Amino acid sequence: MNTRLESNGPERITLAMTGASGAQYGLRLLDCLVREDREVHFLISKAAQLVMATETDVTLPAKTQMMQAFLTEYTGAAAGQIRVYGKEDWMSPVASGSGAPAAMVVVPCSTGTLSAIATGACNNLIERAADVTLKERRQLILVPREAPYSSIHLEHMLKLSNMGVTILPASPGFYHQPQTIDDLIDFVVARILNLLNIPQDMLPRWGEYHLSSDE
């Protein structure tokens, strides 16, 4: 059964990837956003680039313009659909409330980035973009991937949750009977898309899943 949502969700989205394990989630979300014709403002830390090269067969170019060209070709995006910014590009749209997209997702979100966002640090563009999203009361979704969580991590999550941030741990479910690693990745990415109110057909919602199973 198709799970596509009626609303189209935000047209412009900030996608940030930081140095936790789970680069596949960020790459898959980027691909889905491109397929749904979203404009993506893409940010990535150096640690995330190292993790990506370790966990996947994707090695991003170091320079911003080359990275943008690479991701555009990799996802089949239209020219200008993916916009890549460096860690100190303070003149980028995501650095200001007057230009930032309506939603931001950090996936994967390292516990260091979680801490920086919770305490209002703005030492790089990812942290500043999250700070802008918070102060403008826009949608912010953080996808941490760590185990176990320390009390510090949990305190930061609670603090951010009380500010309206969605904390979505990268914890795939199994009720859809996954057969591959890609199925597990899609579970988490589908949950992100549902929160953004962007159509997805990767994962039926709970009631729809059992209805289709009984048919």
Distance CA 138, CA 134 (A): 6
Amino acid making up residue 131: D
Consult the annotation and say whether 112 binds a ligand: yes
Residues contacting 14, CB < 8 A, separation 6+:
40, 41, 43, 94, 100, 101, 103, 104, 105, 129, 133
Q: Is 213 marked as binding a ligand?
A: no
113 labeled part of a ligand binding site: yes
85 marked as binding residue: no
Q: Known binder of ligand: residue 122?
A: yes
| 98 marked as part of a ligand binding site | no
Q: In whole angstroms, how far apart are CA 4 and each of 1, 19, 105, 153, 165?
A: 9, 31, 20, 34, 24
Residue 19 annotated as binding? yes
Flag whether 137 is marked binding. no
Which parts of the chain fold into alpha helices (H)? Answer: 23-35, 46-55, 64-75, 111-119, 125-135, 151-162, 181-196, 206-214
Give the residue among 150, 155, 129 at the shortest CA–CA distance from 140: 129
Question: Is residue 76 part of an annotated ligand binding site?
Answer: no
- Give the C-alpha separation, 175 to 160, whole Å: 29
120 a known binding residue? no
Are 187 and 173 in contact, with CB atoms under 8 Å apart?
yes
35 is in an annotated binding site: no
d(CA 207, CA 213) in angstroms, rounded, equals 10
The answer to whether the annotation marks 20 as part of a ligand binding site is: yes
Which residues are annotated binding-site positions for FMN? 19-21, 45, 110-113, 122, 145
Which residues are annotated binding-site positions? 19-21, 45, 110-113, 122, 145, 175, 191
Which residues are annotated binding-site positions for dimethylallyl phosphate? 175, 191
